[in-house]
């Protein structure tokens, strides 16, 4: 089973993906993780990634699709969770083509529904608690940065909501409940 988790920064996609990896043996394909891994891999694709990233440039969709192709071809018993990809309609089309080429399907697109004000408050509080406990805090986990990240997310990603809704693949799950509640909502969709 292959799924996409959609949701704004801080909605809990990473947490829920981790649960799916543990409980269902799925493989999480996080674009950021794949790029960091490729950069140090020494493969031909890795060298391309390193060259682009070392120049401070954005990695092209072609390279990201190439990395995803490598992972899909390597296989996963439990299927894949696409986290942070696709972000645009062009990427969604490229992913659909790639899945068709490798004989796989996209089974569900799960959008984590959140209230932005509550989300921002939750992340800012979490950052304050982490700082008070001497734990590392993301530099962009402050109200102003979060609002910018949310605006960017909605500008780029809202077309995906319509895209996958039109294909009959979109499912919504409330994203601001307790971790177990959200996981239960996702499990209902997948079962």
User: Active-site residues: which are they?
Assistant: 13, 87, 126, 138, 149
* Three-state secondary structure call for residue 170: strand
- Measure Cα distances from 83 to 25, 30, 121, 127 in Å: 16, 5, 23, 22
Give 64's contacts (C-beta < 8 A, 6+ positions apart).
31, 34, 35, 85, 91
Assigned token pair, 46: 């890795």
Q: Which residue from 83, 84, 74 is spatially nearest to 104, judged by alpha carbons?
A: 74
**CA–CA gap between residue 6 and residue 152 (Å, rounded):** 14
Place of tokens 């039109």: 166
* HEC sequence for 5-29: EECCCCCCHHHHHHHHHHHHCCEEE
**CA–CA gap between residue 50 and residue 174 (Å, rounded):** 38
């Amino acid at each position: 089973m292959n799924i996409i988790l959609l949701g704004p920064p801080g909605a809990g996609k990473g947490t829920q993906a981790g649960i799916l990896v543990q409980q269902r043996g799925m493989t999480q394909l996080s674009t950021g993780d794949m790029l960091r891994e490729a950069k140090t891999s020494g493969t031909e694709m890795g060298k391309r990634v390193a060259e682009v990233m070392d120049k401070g440039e954005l990695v092209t969709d072609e390279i990201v699709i190439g990395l995803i192709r490598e992972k899909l071809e390597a296989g996963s018993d439990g299927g894949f969770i696409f986290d942070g990809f696709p972000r645009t309609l062009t990427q969604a089309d490229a992913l659909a083509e790639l899945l068709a080429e490798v004989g796989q399907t996209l089974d569900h697109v799960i959008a984590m529904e959140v209230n932005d004000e509550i989300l921002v408050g939750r992340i800012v509080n979490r950052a304050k608690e982490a700082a008070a406990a001497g734990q590392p805090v993301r530099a962009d986990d402050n109200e102003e940065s979060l609002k910018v990240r949310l605006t960017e997310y909605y500008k780029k990603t809202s077309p995906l909501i319509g895209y996958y809704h039109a294909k009959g693949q979109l499912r919504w799950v409330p994203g601001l409940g307790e971790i177990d509640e959200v996981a239960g909502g996702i499990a209902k969709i997948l079962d």
